[in-house]
Amino acid sequence: MIIAIDTGGTKTLLASFSNSGEQLKSFEFKTPKNPTQYLDIVHKIIKNEFKKNTIQAISIAVAGICSDKEVLWANNLGWQNFKIVENLQEKIKNIPIFLENDANLAGYYEAKQTNNSNALYITISTGIGSGIIIDGQISKALSKSEIGRIAIEYDGRIREWETFASGKAIYEIFGKYAKDIKRPKYWLNIADRISRGLLVSIPLLQPETIIIGGSVGEQFESFNIFLHQLLVDNLPSHIVCPNIIKATKPKECVIYGCYEYAKAKLTN
């Protein structure tokens, strides 16, 4: 059994997976800003709900910049230099613990599911994150990329992309969550906001496919036609617009990515 933990800027999902990839038990809680509280909740759930001798590995995803052992910076949580693997290992001994950025893991899973070996995965939720997949693997050279933080001129000033195109920004602008927005003119506006970051990223990375997930990505059908046309109209003529698709599991791809990543790590 593998324990997968999707640590988001708003909430955390902890789930167990069988060896065949079936999701078993799952638990959700609000992500504490205090790292110690986070570790205490995770440890309590694992201790009370699972038999230690049945756990093969623990795989943790965090919305932030991560090394193999440490959360270097997680803006929406206020975490910095959080030695998450070492601290959890003190509470849960003799079980491998793997750590990776949440969008990297989501991209890893979605690229496998959609048979895209060279893809750019974009998650649009509380913030905007990316997973860059090259030859079917997370690009180590670009694994710490923070695409939501790229600086773009928008509305007359230089702003970070996620400050005007993330799920949080959409709620602040329209007073509704993406799932509750119905008017096409609002979705055209949202597509324009999303396109600004992609118009910078596509010429640089030139992915074959862009996969969009997260809570906003779940509404893909509401904006994909607008987004595609904006990209075709504004990309340089010699840059091919990638295929743009919806994630197979827009809200769950991170937790499944945790499982797939741990399985691969245990095999290697």
CA distance 192 to 173: 14
Summarize pLDDT for 87-120 with one digit per residue, the tens: 999 999 999 999 999 999 999 999 999 998 899 9
For residue 217, CA distances in Å to 119, 128, 165, 200, 210 come to 16, 11, 12, 19, 12
Angle at 53 between CA 48 and CA 57, to 5 degrees: 90
CATH 3.30.420.40 fits 2-104+252-267, yes or no: yes
CA distance 139 to 145: 10
Summarize pLDDT for 25-80 with one digit per residue, the tens: 999 999 999 999 999 999 999 999 998 889 999 999 998 899 989 999 998 899 99
Summarize pLDDT for 69-95 with one digit per residue, the tens: 999 999 889 999 999 999 999 999 999
Question: Which superfamily, per CATH, for 115-246?
Answer: ATPase, nucleotide binding domain (3.30.420.40)
Whether 268 shows a pLDDT value over 90: the answer reads: no
> Which residue has tokens 């180590």?
140
Q: What is the residue extent of each domain of the chain?
A: 2-104+252-267, 115-246
